[in-house]
Every structure is written in structure tokens, then in C-alpha cells.
Amino acid sequence: MSAVAKLLAQKEQLLARLESDPGSNESAEIQALLAKIETALKLLGGHDSATSGADE
């Protein structure tokens, strides 16, 4: 599995966790992880930010 595919899989899992209405601390942690994943994806060139589900 490529690095991009792993990052996208992690992103999907985190987005699913956000949908389960986590507490504010957990939500903040998830948002921080999503931001890191978005940065990594942009650096790898394997992601179009226009299709991001984690817009802030």
C-alpha cells in the first residue's frame, strides 16, 4: 500500500470518528491529526484539497 493510500485510509477513519460526535478534546485531537494528514498529502502530491472533507 502506498504512503498516499495509507494516509487516505487514516483520513477516512478519522472522519468517521468525527461523525460519531466525539467530545471536544477528542474532536480537537482528530482535527489536528487531519491537518497533519492534509499537509502530508499535499507534500506527496497525492491529494486535491478541493475534495477535502476536513475543511476548517
Residue 56 has pLDDT above 50, yes or no: no
Q: Which residues, other chains included, contact 52 with Cβ-Cβ below 8 Å and sequence gap of 6+?
A: 38
pLDDT single digits (tens) 2-53:
999 999 999 999 999 999 999 999 999 999 999 999 999 999 985 554 444 4
Residue 55 lies in a domain: no
* pLDDT at site 54: 45
Domain that holds residue 32: 3-45
* pLDDT at site 52: 46
Buried b or exposed e, range 22-43, using 16+ CB within 10 angstroms: eeeeeeeebeebbeebbebbee
Residue 1 has pLDDT above 90, yes or no: no
Residue 30 lies in a domain: yes
* pLDDT at site 51: 46
Count up the domains in the chain and report the number. Answer: 1
Residue 50 lies in a domain: no
Residue 51 lies in a domain: no
